[in-house]
Amino acid sequence: MSHNFTMGYPAIFFGMMCLVLFVVQFTKGFIKNKFSDWVVRLYCLGWAWLLQAYLLYARHDFTAKSAGLAGLNGILVALAAMGAYEAINDPKAEKIKLKGELL
């Protein structure tokens, strides 16, 4: 039985999160070498929004309402992709607060 990647996979939240996670992880080396971690987070958000916009375009559903929802969904997708990466990469990471700063 063959499984092909179709436009239906990124249409669901988990599919879009996995797609953003894989694209960012394979391309972030260029960004991470020159900039700090927060730029990589913006890079992830940019990919989430770009892929959301492409999905709306491909499905011929580009309206103000769907674009607004896709923008919010892109934020959630980017946050989930970054969180999934952190959970897989360093599952036992502990962050402590010192003088109001996270380490």
pLDDT tens track of the chain, all 103 residues? 455 556 665 667 888 888 888 888 888 888 888 888 888 889 999 999 999 888 888 888 888 898 898 899 899 999 888 888 777 766 666 666 666 555 5
Can you give the residue ranges of every domain in the chain? 8-89
Partnered with residue 98 across adjacent β-strands are 101
Answer yes or no: pTM beyond 0.85: no
Burial of 16 (0-12, 13-18, 19+ CB in 10 A): buried
Angle, alpha carbons 65-69-72 (nearest 5°): 145
